[in-house]
Amino acid sequence: MTALAVPIKKGLQKSLNLLWLLVKIIIPVSCLVALLNHFGIMESIAGFFAPAMALFGLPGEATVALLLSFFVNFYAALGAITTMSLDSQQITVLAVMIGICHELPIETAVSSYTGLRIPAAATLRIFTALGAGLLLNLIYTLAGGG
């Protein structure tokens, strides 16, 4: 029985460490976005980006989640998304875009080891994410929504 206890203990410790890391990212970002919302800053951001985000079927405030995912990490975007009222179609479109183009600086540097130049890799990922968002929104629109 003790042979089983060691891997379980290590697994639980790793799980708790990961949980703590996520808590340290998601809660502060959620609070920051909630404060931006409370003071009307989020409304200004949403209003400014609403025309562009409408192409993807997303509200303007989804810009915050996209930018956080592109330049910080997926978990920061998740913290922002938790403060928004999005329907299943919007969450799906946003998730696909984030999945394609998350952590842009880090993953672009990693992809440079394959021989792809950094500007080309970043441009490719950004345009692929935008194209996928446009296409998925078009599919949802033609199919009658989510």
User: Could you tell me if 134 and 56 are in contact, meaning their C-beta atoms sit under 8 angstroms apart?
Assistant: yes
Residue type at 129 in one-letter notation: A
pLDDT in tens, 66-77: 988 988 888 888
pTM recorded for the entire structure: 0.77
User: Could you tell me if 24 and 46 are in contact, meaning their C-beta atoms sit under 8 angstroms apart?
Assistant: no
pLDDT in tens, 91-145: 999 999 999 998 888 888 888 888 889 899 999 999 999 999 999 999 999 998 7
pLDDT in tens, 33-74: 788 878 988 888 889 999 999 999 999 999 989 988 988 888
Q: Domain extents for the chain? A: 8-143
| 131-136 contacts at long range (C-beta below 8 A, 24 or more positions apart) | 132/96, 132/97, 132/100, 133/55, 133/56, 133/58, 133/93, 133/94, 133/96, 133/97, 134/55, 134/56, 136/92, 136/93, 136/96
Per-residue confidence (pLDDT) for residue 34, from 0 to 100: 81
